[in-house]
Chains A and B, each alone.
Chain A
Amino acid sequence: MLAFAVFIGLMLGLKYFLTPDSWREYGPYRGKALTEIADKVPKYVDMETCAMCHDSIAELKNQGLHKLIQCELCHGPGYLHVEDDENNKMKIPEGSGVCIECHAKNAARPDKIIKQVDVAEHSEGEECINCHNPHEPWL
């Protein structure tokens, strides 16, 4: 009986010391985990942040068909560039890879939503950017 009481006491003590502070703050988990997950730094800033400096090009793009497309979709995440633009240049995509991600012909792509081309037939080896300006696309 005494051994049993000691065992229970020991376990209660262990439970007291091993349970983290924020346990059951919101539910059966560590409440602090929420703030830990939220502390991560976002890598993609949004279009408005880009437009603070690059306002003319953002305005041009927002008038055209590419207005829903974020700058960082082609140019890569901008969190470092915002902090230090001298040492962290944004990516300028080369070739036609970025364009054909969306515009390559595929039967599953809805025609109403996106203009598609058969890449080999349409461009004949030329890069898209030689004729089309991605910031001001024309058909």
Chain B
Amino acid sequence: MPDTIVVACDGSDASARALDFAHARAKQIGGDLLVVHVLEWSPYSFLTPDEIAERHVRRKEELARADAAIIGPIIAKYKDKGVKIETAVKYGHVIDTLIDAATTANAVEIISGRTGNSGVMTRVFGSVAGTLAQVSPVPCTIVP
């Protein structure tokens, strides 16, 4: 079974660079790519009665939007470029969900871009790439 590389994708320029890098790396090792897009979601947030009644519909819309705006262009760009690509749009906490996807797929590596925030912003809000590097169960590459 070929090795799988998980690449985090949020549709930003940084994640496009990460995807390019991951694609080249997968080609190099003869592996597959699993592109994961995470929609931030907590099952413990508070919703109004209206939001609850509409949640199922909104979820469908959000998944369709993610497919159209983020996943579709990726598949179009890398189709028939010599690497098998699978995609997944998942709800949850970004880091936990990425790690969960990597563990389930027996991935050999996680690749992510970074926004390049520094100083105060990162101190206050943390950084996905930084935390991922800290807690990833497999080797993790952060693409600048």
- Asked whether A and B interact, the reply is no
A-binding residues in B (CB < 8 A) = none
